[in-house]
Structure 1
Amino acid sequence: METVEKKQSSAKKTLKIGLAGLVSIVVCYFVFNKVNHALNHENTDNAQIETNSVPVLSRIPGYISKFSLLDYQVVKEGDTIAIIDDHEYTLAVQQAEADLLGAKADLSSAQSQLPTIGSNKQVASAGISVEEVAVQKAKRDVARDEALFKEGSITQRQFENSQSAYETAQKMLISSRSRLTQASTQTGTAEAQIAKAKANIAAKETALQSARLNLSYTRIIAPSTGKVGKTNLRKGQYVQGGQQLFSLVSNEKYWVVANFKETQIEHMKVGQPVNIKVDGYPNHTISGKISGFSDATGAKFSLLPPDNSTGNFVKVTQRVPVIIDIDDLASLQTILKAGLSVEADVKIH
């Protein structure tokens, strides 16, 4: 009996030693893997999935006359997603068109004066030529009659008549020259009016284009393909120009922004592979690679960045945003959502 008990005791000791050895091997294996992983990887759970979110704005003020989208509804780029009442803007276009027609009429009126002014200039020029000939003739007649009067061949009345004709011819010449100067001045005035009318037409055309542009803004168009976010927009609601109505979340492109500690990025480079674990889908294996680094820490983008020069400095490990592209994005779009928390594991060696 003692021999059997000794054998059983020896077998139990051997089993315990074996189990202890096996446990030690398993523990060493896991410790080795942990240490090896820590030496060759950098990990953070301060990461989220990101995508493009486009704000949908109203370019003009007005009352919403049509809006039927539901929260989180899918829309395509170019779809009309809301309509602002356009009566006011249609009237503005009509008013701008009428103003443009009036400006064009003013230009036609100014241009129609040029032929009349040109005709007056021609008549004045011709009159000057005639009056200059008449003055020269009257001058010669005075010289001749003066000699005849001194000889006693003509009477004083005849001589005075010659002098009067000479003076009249001179005054007629001065009058014709004055009419030519006036016609030249009228030409400059008419040309200035034409230039002013053309400038007015350009201004009215610009106003018409602006009115038509505002009219086109009454139809709010989807700037990209995606899903409508939470909306509180209703028909009949008044919106301001530049007011954000809701956001349009794109579902065509996703990426991960992981915030690594500043002590972790020494060996991280663009192109290194990354294992991504989404908290909401732990059974999905997602891979990616680093595509870029932020040139500033997250604290620098905060609304009130810390001021370390105030004398109350406390050193805090900073976080650097790292951009990670997701591989095989097309097959994962049904599960990826902006804002989901993820864990990023970067292989650095």
Structure 2
Amino acid sequence: MEPNQAPKAKGKPFIIISVVAALLAVYGVFKGYHAFTHESTDNAQIESNAIPIVSRLAGYIDSIAIKDFQNVKPSEVLVQIDPREYELALSLAEADLLSAEADLSNANAQLLSTEVNKRVSQSNLDIQEVRLNKAKTDLLRDESLFKDNSITRKQLDDTRSAYETAQKQVRSNQDQLSYAQSQTGTIKAQIDKVKAQIAAKKSALENAKLRLSYTKITSPIAGKVGRTNLQPGQYVQPGQTLFTLVNNEQFWVTANFKETQLEKLKEGMEADIIIDGYPNVSVKAKIEGLSDATGARFALLPPDNATGNFVKVTQRVPVKLSIQNLAEVKPFLKTGMSVTVSVKTN
């Protein structure tokens, strides 16, 4: 039996080698076809908007309503700054406004009183002018009668005295009317000034309300809180970044392709994305736009190639891809995760 089994044993390695060679050939054909119809890069990351949460006021933290990596909703209160100082400022602004409104009411009452005095002065002037005209007529008549010796000197003097008194009374009433008119103008100017003060104090009141509202630091979007390092009683400054809020509703991919790959890339092309951390998750994407500058140009210190030691380096151009099945894969997406992008160019 041993001579008959030897040829069979010698044939097994050949079969294995043939199968392996066939698999390698198929794999080579697949990779060649894939390379011909796709452009790929592993220099890519998942992106999202990271919003710094800052304090608009100076003050001491009263309470903290969030913790690390917590999901938050829009307008949800995150941090409460001690509001007592700003509540007092609001009360003071309200009192200032009430005082200014009281001044306006008082000025309006003075204007009304002055208008009444002006009308009374005008009426008195009209009466005195009538009396003056009568006194003048009496004087002219008595002067004529005196020439005819019809009246005595005393009667003429009394008539002349009454006329002069009427003249003085008219001048006095004219002065009173002028004073009332000037008072009216003064009070109207005062009213305009108080109205301007009221407008300023209303603005101050609104500003006090606004500053009081800033003591509640709220979430501008739905997202997830990053790392926090806050404690109640901690003092914060205006403009100080407290922590970062990541928008976990919107994600996209930024892939840095070599400049030699750009010839085949166009907007709207579909792409497959493999997440390094979740290789079995299928992410579908589409090219949304290509940058008009290389990634090096966005660096803090762009390279200067105008030197004698120039070494040509293949540049990379950022390409933005929108995720098409975002609702399905969103639980697996984390900002900054590395991915591999394969764009279907054919």
TM-score by length of 2: 0.87
- The 2-side partners of 1:250 and 1:344 are apart by 22
Query: How is 1:287-298 mapped onto 2 (pairs within 5 angstroms)?
Result: 287-298=284-295
Aligned-pair identity (%): 52
Corresponding residue for 2:180? 183
Query: How is 1:262-301 mapped onto 2 (pairs within 5 angstroms)?
Result: 262-301=259-298
Corresponding residue for 2:53? 56
Query: How is 1:44-123 mapped onto 2 (pairs within 5 angstroms)?
Result: 44-67=41-64, 69-123=66-120
Partner secondary structure for residue 51 of structure 2: strand
- The 2-side partners of 1:172 and 1:201 are apart by 43
- The 2-side partners of 1:163 and 1:309 are apart by 111
Which segment is superposed worse, 121-130 or 262-271?
262-271
CA contact (8 A) 2:97 2:201 kept: yes
- Where structure 2 has 5 or more consecutive residues not aligned to the other structure, the ranges are 1-7
- Where structure 1 has 5 or more consecutive residues not aligned to the other structure, the ranges are 1-10
1:344 and 2:304 aligned: no
1:229 and 2:226 aligned: yes
Give the length in aligned residue pairs: 340
Query: How far is 1:310 from its partner?
Result: 7.9
Which segment is superposed worse, 143-152 or 337-346?
143-152
Partner secondary structure for residue 66 of structure 2: coil
Corresponding residue for 1:205? 202
Query: How far is 1:158 from its partner?
Result: 3.2
Corresponding residue for 1:142? 139
Query: How far is 1:160 from its partner?
Result: 3.3
1:193 and 2:190 aligned: yes
- The 2-side partners of 1:167 and 1:240 are apart by 79
CA contact (8 A) 2:281 2:329 kept: no
1:43 and 2:40 aligned: yes
- For residue 294 of structure 2, what is the amino acid of its counterpart? T
Query: How far is 1:62 from its partner?
Result: 0.7
- For residue 334 of structure 1, what is the amino acid of its counterpart? P
1:151 and 2:183 aligned: no
Query: How far is 1:277 from its partner?
Result: 1.7
Partner secondary structure for residue 49 of structure 2: strand
Query: How far is 1:283 from its partner?
Result: 3.4
Query: How far is 1:242 from its partner?
Result: 2.0
Tell me: CA distance 1:228–1:159, structure 2 relative to 1, closer, same or farther (3 Å): same
Tell me: CA distance 1:305–1:155, structure 2 relative to 1, closer, same or farther (3 Å): farther
Corresponding residue for 1:334? 331
Structure 1 residue runs of 4+, over 6 Å off?
14-25, 309-313
